[in-house]
């Protein structure tokens, strides 16, 4: 069991050795949470949720019924559901899907993501391009990685601009959707 306070919220997580960062809350995710502001009216997607840190944090600040946790791994989804109950936000929606392939919800004001950035770029490319289409105009995609150039360029190419916040050894990207269409095709 991981028990930790994150920006004043006491959180608890059960996890599994098969999931990302099973022994402690991931420093990259904590870097992202140090920068993003979640408000009561937000509709939030935790994309690639793992055991649910980003989405559960968001659900504590927004209404749980407006927070969605998505992961391709059924074990991750099982733990995300358990952790939602442990943290009194059982109203969140947890869905197993390979990226956006089996998930059709739209109108998000924030998408939070700590993508698998040590692999090739096919997964984050899918997350960025398809995530853009799931955001409401004015909504923002937040990503955290240890690699800057590819993400900065890709997010700028799709969204038309991106803010990059350096937090320790991580880069936290914030890209706001300004229109219904990509800034330019890539």
The whole-model pTM stands at: 0.94
The total of structural domains in the chain comes to: 1
Domain limits at 164?
A: 2-176
Examine residue 41 and state whether it is found in any structural domain, yes or no: yes
Examine residue 181 and state whether it is found in any structural domain, yes or no: no
Q: Quote the tokens at residue 37.
A: 């502001």
List average pLDDT for each run of 10 residues in the chain, which is 186 residues long.
91 92 90 96 96 97 97 96 97 94 95 83 91 96 94 95 96 95 70
User: What's residue 120's pLDDT?
Assistant: 76
Q: Which residues contact 54 (CB under 8 A, 6 or more apart)?
A: 29, 32, 33, 46, 112, 113, 114
Examine residue 186 and state whether it is found in any structural domain, yes or no: no
Tokens 């059924």 sit on residue: 74
User: What count of other Cβ atoms lies within 10 Å of the Cβ of residue 39?
Assistant: 11
Specify which residues 3 forms β-bridges with: 12
Which CATH number characterizes residue 150's domain? Answer: 3.40.50.150
């Amino acid at each position: 069991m991981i028990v930790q306070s994150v920006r004043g919220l006491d959180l608890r997580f059960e996890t599994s050795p098969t999931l990302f960062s099973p022994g402690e809350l991931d420093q990259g995710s904590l870097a992202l949470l140090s920068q993003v502001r979640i408000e009561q009216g937000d509709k939030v997607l935790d994309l690639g949720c793992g055991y649910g840190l980003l989405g559960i944090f968001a659900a504590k600040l927004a209404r749980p019924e407006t927070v969605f946790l998505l992961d391709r791994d059924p074990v991750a989804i099982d733990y995300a559901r358990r952790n939602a109950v442990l943290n009194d936000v059982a109203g969140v929606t947890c869905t197993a899907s390979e990226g956006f392939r089996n998930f059709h919800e739209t109108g998000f004001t924030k998408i939070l993501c700590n993508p698998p950035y040590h692999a090739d770029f096919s997964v984050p490319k899918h997350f960025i391009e398809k995530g853009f289409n799931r955001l409401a105009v004015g909504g923002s995609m937040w990503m955290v990685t240890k690699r800057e150039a590819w993400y900065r360029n890709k997010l700028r190419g799709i969204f038309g601009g991106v803010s990059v916040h350096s937090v320790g050894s991580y880069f936290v990207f914030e890209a706001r959707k300004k229109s219904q269409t990509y800034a330019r095709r890539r």
